[in-house]
Amino acid sequence: MTAKDEQLGGAERIVRSALCVGVGSLFLAFTPPASVTPEGWRVLAIFVAVITAFILRPFPMGPVVLFGVIACAATGSLDLDQALSGYGEKVVWLVVSAFLLAGAVRDSGLGRRAALMLVRKFGRSTLGVAYAQAAAELLLGPLVPSNTARGGGILAPISDSLSRALGSEPGVSSEKAGTFLTLVGAHCNLVTAAMFLTGMAANPLFATTAREVYGVAMDDWTTWALAMIVPGLVSLALLPLFLYFLVRPTITDGRPAQALAQSELERLGPWTRAEKILAFIFAGMIFLWSLKAWGPLVGIELKPDTTMVALLGVCACLIANVQPWKRMTHDAATWDTLIWLGGLLTMATALKDLGVIDAFANRANGLFDGTPMLITLIGLALVYFYSMYAFSMLTAHITAMASVFLAIALAAGAPGMLAVPLFAAFSNLCACTTNYSTGPVILYFGLGHVSAGTWFRVGFLVSLLHMAVWIPVGLLWWRLLGWW
Amino acid sequence: MTAKDEQLGGAERIVRSALCVGVGSLFLAFTPPASVTPEGWRVLAIFVAVITAFILRPFPMGPVVLFGVIACAATGSLDLDQALSGYGEKVVWLVVSAFLLAGAVRDSGLGRRAALMLVRKFGRSTLGVAYAQAAAELLLGPLVPSNTARGGGILAPISDSLSRALGSEPGVSSEKAGTFLTLVGAHCNLVTAAMFLTGMAANPLFATTAREVYGVAMDDWTTWALAMIVPGLVSLALLPLFLYFLVRPTITDGRPAQALAQSELERLGPWTRAEKILAFIFAGMIFLWSLKAWGPLVGIELKPDTTMVALLGVCACLIANVQPWKRMTHDAATWDTLIWLGGLLTMATALKDLGVIDAFANRANGLFDGTPMLITLIGLALVYFYSMYAFSMLTAHITAMASVFLAIALAAGAPGMLAVPLFAAFSNLCACTTNYSTGPVILYFGLGHVSAGTWFRVGFLVSLLHMAVWIPVGLLWWRLLGWW
């Protein structure tokens, strides 16, 4: 989910910037509701300008958030201390740590090796290759927090090679396997993004928003994973088959892909020291992260903090010299994410603290009286999901919509541990709708195996599958957990 | 002052790491003073291990600080929230902003052009070239906060070219001009490092320590600059002449260097758009920074925050597209500094909050009863200064020594606005002592124009000059300001 540095001409940049400032300024023309302080209203205006800038993109995401934070401080809406406080937040450092670890997975070749091993194992048929892709996403989901890095950086190039190994060339013979495998890769990426707090860079932002609006704690690794494991696995199990029927590959024998995986693995040679240590470190991290879930069953009451575990992982990588410090400090995507995530958190917190979110919730209060809660909630979730058509970035969608929709759901009386996991999942799954929704989708689409028309048509059908899976299975599972 | 990534063998790394942990653990064998909490004592032990690691360097500075911060959290000595709070501190973002701006000065070529223009103007004699170097340091001091980037990155290569233009080859004919110009470059760098809060990366760390120990506010740009302007200018005026007599160059005609500067400037061509805008942005920043000093005289009461101004400068660079975001996120030195500075601040704050610093001060209380305060203070300052012989890094020296010495000075009754500026200046000037004291010194020494013996001999004599200048002029100036 790194911001893309678009090449804009000076004039176009100025026009777009002016539009963003204009949209934000519009808000200042209105009188704020009584419960909102003037400072809160100014932060809201700046926040709206920031979201507009996410859509119009006069600048990449990092600078836009930085401008927003500085504007909050310069207008006296926030103290500078408050404005910078997001950069000391635990969730920000969870994401920073996870990005640094993802760099180690990428640089060591561990992610690539894992994917190739799965293809070698399960790739006898084209459908098997697709399930190997899904399994690779599931394996890497907890480890590589940027879905762009995971899908676009590690798995999309492998998906492309596998298609070509099956004789499928982009645009020429995509129907052989390329269209199918590309769509499997892209859509499975979004499911694993939904399944783990560290599956997508903006998930912690959603979790923090949920804690602020609802007071619900989905911001630890275990609770999130527990919420998503059942609907996520059902979703991953059905998706390749569903797509198999939608865009059936004309090649069904996967053995050339299997052979490619085999030869690539031979080229990689035996596991390196770095790969072995990394696998061990990740096993340790997942052990510690999941301790909260199974520890009490065996009498262990230790509940290590999610961020703490990730930071220990980073330290372990440094101590074992798996990833040198120099590489980490050169990892531009990490520092870009630090800037935008920290700044967005600051603004989200300020909107809550200054009464803006409560004002929205109050406005929505009573709006759905008489409608059964579940109907209202599902209706809201559907609008939240399909509003993604208007966004070109998952983070922008979450930033703009999550707090408002959660506030309305709260006002409609939806229990927190029902509404929050549902919106959390939809925050990621909604990217199935378009071919420009998030980094890996753009990258998979860019491989050229799928036409834009097909992408939109299949994307819509996949969205229906998500509804058919996540709403019943999710609701049932969260009920079984006693969450609502 | 970036940490250097040393190539260490595994065994050596392990031995050194074990030593650091061992030294820290030693502390745990002692009972803490009554006023220090067990948490505070553990933080102190970790802190001592960190400083030991700065000296033994089993890892670069960034990871060492990270290990320290995580150790504080993992041992329950600090909450993880507290442990990460340093990354939301204003001074940290002052330094981050200043580093990002320094990148723009370097990449745009503005720093190089300024230095060359000064040589062209004043370089008729070798002594004139030296004063041009001093003037370039003075000009770049407020703009380039890493003294390594300023001295080593921009000015040392120019100094080397100028020496060669005067026919001085390292080791062969250094006496012609190279020894002289190299020493002028290195020692002036340390003076300008002392003159500005943004002159050296660890100055804000010192300022924060001073605020915590003494409650004295030297952590805004204006107060620091005001404190240092008079002794700093005297120092810069005398240094080239002093060195001229110590290591008199055999070539006194500077015109070949002047001609080189002229031809280099011709090669650079007219000022680029980026250079012009940057010069304008910096003029604006210094205008805003200094507003606090002269604003009240003309009836302007606006006192913009030092960090705010620096962040506005960064935003201006982004908006004017002088330095694109991509370059900023790839600036590894910035993010390295963020990690170590934020972590050190956290630990320094914790040592104060948990009673460790006060315990030191109490222990020192009454120690100097009967000795006149000024004698005690100057004695302490001398010990602080010359203890730098034991350190290989200004930051490590400040981290290890500043809070203790300030606490003792406080106990000895020295007024804050006398002790703090004196120790602030000495924190930088003390690097004159050795050829391994800080990045630019190492780089200047590495040019090969000065033998190690000469460097130590001249360094000691320069330290005497600093004493002769900064103690009387500084004390008098701060008295004139009514600070004590």
Nearest CA in chain A to B316: A67
Closest by CA position to B349, among listed B117, B68, B40, B95: B40
pLDDT-flagged residues of chain A (< 50): 1-6
Contact between chains at B332 and A312 (C-beta distance less than 8 A): no
Q: Which residues of B touch A73 (CB under 8 A)?
A: 308, 311
The secondary element (H helix, E strand) that includes residue B480 is helix B452-480
Angle formed by the axes of helices A416-429 and A373-386, to 10°?
20
Q: Contact, B150 vs B189, CB < 8 A?
A: yes
Residue holding tokens 């080239």? B240
- How far, CA to CA in Å, does B175 sit from each of A330, B165, B243, B448, B460? 40, 14, 13, 12, 20
- Rounded (5°) CA angle A100-A341-B70: 45
Locate B215 and state its tokens: 């409650």
Nearest CA in chain A to B307: A80
pLDDT winner (highest mean) among A165-179, A227-241, B138-152, B384-398: A227-241
Over residues B32-37, mean pLDDT: 84
pLDDT given for residue A402 in this prediction: 92
Of A66, A93, A325, the CB nearest to B60: A325
Instruction: Count Cβ–Cβ pairs < 8 Å, chain A vs chain B.
Output: 120
Q: How far is CA A211 from the centre of its chain?
A: 18
Contact between chains at B315 and A60 (C-beta distance less than 8 A): no
Q: Which residues of B touch A17 (CB under 8 A)?
A: 319
- Rounded (5°) CA angle B231-B236-B238: 95
Closest by CA position to A187, among listed A157, A232, A230, A143: A232
Distance CA B209, CA B284 (A): 29
| pLDDT tens, position by position, B5-25 | 445 677 888 999 999 999 999
The secondary element (H helix, E strand) that includes residue B11 is helix B10-29
Q: Contact, A374 vs A409, CB < 8 A?
A: no
Distance CA B204, CA B198 (A): 8
Nearest CA in chain A to B67: A315
Contact between chains at A89 and B88 (C-beta distance less than 8 A): yes
Distance CA A60, CA A52 (A): 12
Amino acid at B196: F
Nearest-CA distance A365 → chain B (Å): 34
Nearest CA in chain B to A86: B88
ipTM over 0.85: no
pLDDT given for residue B327 in this prediction: 92
pLDDT given for residue A467 in this prediction: 96
Amino acid at A156: A
Contact between chains at B80 and A307 (C-beta distance less than 8 A): yes
Q: Which residues of A touch B324 (CB under 8 A)?
A: 5
| pLDDT tens, position by position, B175-220 | 999 999 999 999 999 999 999 998 998 999 999 999 988 888 888 8
Distance CA B98, CA A113 (A): 42
pLDDT given for residue A7 in this prediction: 55
- Report domain extents, chain B: 1-83+337-354, 90-328
Please determine, for residue B3, whether its predicted confidence score (pLDDT) is greater than 70. Answer: no
**In sequence order, which residues have a C-beta less than 8 Å from that of residue B446 and are 6 or more positions away?**
none
Q: Contact, A438 vs A431, CB < 8 A?
A: yes
pLDDT given for residue B30 in this prediction: 84
Nearest-CA distance B83 → chain A (Å): 9
pLDDT given for residue B7 in this prediction: 54
Distance CA B220, CA A163 (A): 60
Q: Any alpha helices (H) in A141-272, and if so which ranges?
A: 147, 156-165, 178-195, 203-214, 221-246, 255-268
Q: Which residues of A touch B339 (CB under 8 A)?
A: 329
